Amino acid sequence: MMKKIWLVVGFFWASIATAEVLHSTESGFEIKMSTSVSATPEQAYEQFLRVDEWWSPEHTWFGKAENLAINPVAGGCFCEVDGDQSVLHMTVSYVAPNREIRLQGGLGPLQQMGLHGVLTFKFIPVSDNETKIVQLYRVTGYDPHGLKALAPIVDEVQILQLNRLRALFSPTF
């Protein structure tokens, strides 16, 4: 119950999180978002790894966030498993525990489109009990309609995810 209360409080404070499309062309885009949480980098990183607690079930293949897991080692899987169905969302390519994790692949429909992305999360200490989480997603590839129009849509979905993660922590001022 307490987790749900913080989700509501976190959505109220969502305006504190920032998001922007840094670059957008027909062959790719780059989006960046950030937020601060009342936690040490270690706590923020550990909560991030519990992706099943904060990722939106509406943005899973099988409708249940509890099926998600991230194995935080190079070559590890950001996967979703539901019985005999499974999805490799992204592959972990870089891990500096409590500081940075980088994943490669295409999320959601980007995977079906054959697009490639690098999703980076950085956990930057601001003070003894405040951490800035910076998320950067770079996507490239080919689509006959171009990728420029996808950037704001992907940005919207990713800020939703970051706000859900943020909501699990006490709001910072």
Alpha carbon separation from 25 to 32, 105, 120, 144, 157 (Å, rounded) = 15, 19, 20, 13, 19
What is the residue range of 46's domain?
A: 2-166
Question: What predicted TM-score, i.e. pTM, was given to this entire model?
Answer: 0.88
> Is a pLDDT exceeding 90 seen at residue 101?
yes
- Tell me, yes or no, whether 131 lies in a domain: yes
- Tell me, yes or no, whether 11 lies in a domain: yes
Q: What is the CATH number of the domain that holds 90?
A: 3.30.530.20
- Tell me, yes or no, whether 55 lies in a domain: yes
Q: How many domains are contained in the chain?
A: 1
Q: What is the pLDDT of residues 58-88, one digit of tens each?
A: 999 999 999 999 999 999 999 999 999 999 9
Task: Give the Cα separation of 5 and 37 in Å (integer).
Answer: 16
Q: What is the pLDDT of residues 103-141, one digit of tens each?
A: 999 999 999 999 999 999 999 999 999 999 999 999 999
- Tell me, yes or no, whether 21 lies in a domain: yes
Dig out the tokens for 57 from the structure: 């079930």
Q: What is the pLDDT of residues 138-168, one digit of tens each?
A: 999 999 999 999 999 999 999 999 999 999 9
Q: Cite the DSSP H helix spans in 15-167.
A: 41-49, 109-112, 150-166
- Tell me, yes or no, whether 126 lies in a domain: yes
- Tell me, yes or no, whether 148 lies in a domain: yes
Q: Do 44 and 131 touch, CB atoms closer than 8 A?
A: yes
- Tell me, yes or no, whether 172 lies in a domain: no
> Is a pLDDT exceeding 80 seen at residue 16?
no
Mean pLDDT over 11-21 rounds to 63
Question: pLDDT at position 18, please?
Answer: 80
Question: pLDDT at position 170, please?
Answer: 66
- Tell me, yes or no, whether 171 lies in a domain: no
Selection from 173, 168, 155 nearest residue 8 by Cα: 168
